[in-house]
Amino acid sequence: MDKQSLLNDVVKLYRLCGKPNFMDGTAVNCEILLNEEVTLLINAIYCQNEDVLGSIKCDGDYIDLPIQELKTGQDLTFRLNIPLIEHKLFFKDIADLITNYTGIKIGKLPESFYLIGEDYLTTEANEPEKLIQLRRVCRWILFLDKALPHTDKSNNSFTFVLLTEDKENKGFKKHLIESRFTFADLKPLDGLESFEEMLKNQDLHCSERLAVVRNALEELLSKRPATNQQLGYILSEFEVFKKLYQDNYETYINGFSLKDFKKEVIEKHQDVASKIDGALYDVINKALAIPVSIVTIGALIKEDQLINSLVVSCAVLLVPVLMWWLIGQHLKRLEEIQLDIKEIFDKFENKKESAAQFVDEKRQSLVDRSKSITVVLKILKWLGFAPVIAAIFLLLNKFPAIPIFFCDIYYFIVYFVFCG
């Protein structure tokens, strides 16, 4: 018995009867005027399956099948029982097909079926858009079954297993994804063919591309708190998943996975940041010499001995000179670090916008920090002369004879030059 042939005849007769509503979902009462086409259809259905038609009356009288010698135009009533040939053939609509056909969850559609709401029969042209999307979802399920190494299979569904990093508990979190979805989850799944090609082209990079698919799924699911999920979530976020895959694959061809890429960028960022902070802390410790020197000068110059005060002042002069040199060395070190920033982060150049933005943010934060510290160091270089200035003012205040002495020398030189 040809299932498709029987279904074609039943659907044709159902349509000729005006597609009456089903009573209990499995049968419908039909009424039609007898003609040659109807006679041939009923007899053909009866020959294929005697249980499809029941309670047949012609002008109110029960008749036996097959129909013989009936006149055209007679009123024919009968009960049309929906045929069950290995699976349900009639469905109210696509949502009913998804809910009630068990093979859907393992990526299989029935070979032959009729959708009442869409008035669509398999093998007919102009397949409904949502049915096309359903076929693509089934192909996606079959792809995941082959692409993911850990899949629990039952007769009616798949459970895909993925592991994601659990940073809070310092371990791994298991995600169980049931191959369940609803009519509302149907999506076009643009780009599905590129994933299916991975399984067809068994080249050197096939396993790596499938690993990138798993990484992208793990990254997508890592944002979800629940560990038991349905395929519908992945379908609803298919465009997000596809972009994650593209970003991961773009970095893979440069020798990275996106996670490892970001991890290395962060490590380099932390390494350079620690060098910058080390330079800053070292300079801060040296900068403490400035207030200490000023306090020391104030204490020592209290004595009334001019020679001692001059010696102290000359010794203090060494502090800013030394600090000027040391801070200059730190500035050179910062310049070297800035060159390191450019060299380190240039190798992370990535064509994908999200990865490039990630690198730029890390690089810019280091550049901004190094520039701000450079400004501080230059200010500290000049502040290093504060003890000398303080020493001069204290000396002049404590020993007023000093400026008089220098004034006398100045006048003597002027007199000697101009008056001979």
What are the pLDDT digits (tens) for 104-152? Answer: 999 999 888 999 889 999 888 889 999 999 999 999 999 998 888 778 8
- At 351, is the pLDDT very low, low, confident or very high (cuts 50, 70, 90)? very low
The 10s digit of each residue's pLDDT in 326-339 is: 666 666 666 666 66
Residue of 351 and 29 predicted with greater confidence: 29
Whether residue 409 is predicted with pLDDT greater than 70 in this model: the reply is: yes
The 10s digit of each residue's pLDDT in 225-280 is: 666 678 888 899 999 999 988 888 877 766 555 556 666 666 776 676 676 666 66
Query: What mean pLDDT is predicted for residues 88-107?
Result: 89
Question: Residue 127: helix, strand or coil by DSSP?
Answer: coil
Residues 26, 71: one domain? yes
Residues 223, 350: one domain? no
Domain boundary among 221, 252, 283: 252
Query: What mean pLDDT is predicted for residues 33-46?
Result: 90
The 10s digit of each residue's pLDDT in 171-193 is: 777 788 889 899 999 999 999 99
Which range is most confident: 13-27, 117-131, 140-154, 364-378?
A: 117-131
Give the domain range for residue 343: 258-419
Which range is most confident: 293-302, 312-321, 362-371, 397-406?
A: 362-371
Residue 221 maps to a domain: yes
In angstroms, rounded to a whole number, what is the distance separating the alpha carbons of residues 162 and 150?
7
Whether residue 309 is predicted with pLDDT greater than 90 in this model: the reply is: no
Whether residue 315 is predicted with pLDDT greater than 60 in this model: the reply is: no
Residue 337 maps to a domain: yes
Query: How many domains does the structure of the chain reveal?
Result: 3
Please report the pLDDT score of residue 16 as a whole number: 92
Residue 415 maps to a domain: yes
* DSSP 8-class letter at 103: G
In angstroms, rounded to a whole number, what is the distance separating the alpha carbons of residues 273 and 372?
13
Residue 95 maps to a domain: no
- Percent of the chain whose pLDDT exceeds 70: 58
Which range is most confident: 14-28, 256-270, 355-369, 382-396?
A: 14-28
Query: What mean pLDDT is predicted for residues 380-396?
Result: 65
Burial of 37 (0-12, 13-18, 19+ CB in 10 A): exposed
Domain boundary among 66, 85, 104: 85
Residue 73 maps to a domain: yes
Q: Two tokens at 88?
A: 């349900």
Residue 111 maps to a domain: no
Residues 146, 8: one domain? no
Closest-CA residue to 190 (of 118, 253, 241): 241
Residues 25, 79: one domain? yes
Amino acid making up residue 62: Y
Question: Residue 77: helix, strand or coil by DSSP?
Answer: strand
Domain boundary among 252, 286, 320: 252
Residue of 212 and 290 predicted with greater confidence: 212
In angstroms, rounded to a whole number, what is the distance separating the alpha carbons of residues 212 and 261?
13
In angstroms, rounded to a whole number, what is the distance separating the alpha carbons of residues 345 and 337?
12
Please report the pLDDT score of residue 337 as a whole number: 66
Residue 100 maps to a domain: no
Please report the pLDDT score of residue 115 as a whole number: 92
- At 4, is the pLDDT very low, low, confident or very high (cuts 50, 70, 90)? confident
